[in-house]
Amino acid sequence: MTTEITLAQSSFTSLCAGWQFASSRRGAWQARLVAGRQLTSWGWSPATEVFQDAAVIISELTSNAVTHGHVRGRDFQLHLLLGPCPGLATVLRIEVSDARGERLPQLPEASTRGAESGRGLILVDALADRWGSVPRPPSGKTLWCEMDLMVSQQE
């Protein structure tokens, strides 16, 4: 299901895809599946590092939206943007928006990094070149990350 949704601040003018999903484990699974198909349609094989890194990031951000951003009756949104960024080459931007603006993401403290859960943002931080969050009025937030790409990575 594709819907028109206002994007977080970005300077992209190239390729864009966006979807809305139920805030459930099934919705997170569907988001990962659809995003993988989109990355493939843009030229990345599942065997490429870009595809695999993006898949991990998408998995973590959609899981966080369902786990920490869930509000009964409210969906989450996923956007993929591929385009030039001023001062950089091509950038893949991943955005996940949820309804819980008061629950902002934070990297876990070093003392809790051995915990059974809560390491998703550590993976995002390691795989993305930049990431952060912005408010999404009236009460939500958008987590975003960017991966700097080279044209040769699209094979």
For residue 7, is it within any domain? no
For residue 2, is it within any domain? no
For residue 119, is it within any domain? yes
Residues contacting 14, CB < 8 A, separation 6+: 81, 82, 83, 84
* Residue with more model confidence, 1 or 11: 11
For residue 52, is it within any domain? yes
Q: What is the model's pLDDT at position 78?
A: 95
For residue 86, is it within any domain? yes
Please name the helix (run of DSSP H) or strand (run of DSSP E) that holds residue 107, with its range, or none. Answer: none
CATH code, domain with 127: 3.30.565.10
| C-alpha–C-alpha distance, residues 58 and 76, integer Å | 13
Give per-residue pLDDT as tens, 90-142.
899 999 998 876 767 777 665 455 555 567 888 999 999 999 999 888 878 99
Q: Which domain holds residue 98?
A: 15-153
* Residue with more model confidence, 155 or 112: 112
For residue 9, is it within any domain? no
The pTM of this model reads 0.79
| C-alpha–C-alpha distance, residues 153 and 155, integer Å | 6
| C-alpha–C-alpha distance, residues 128 and 68, integer Å | 21
> What secondary structure letter does DSSP report for 93?
E
Q: How many domains does the chain have?
A: 1
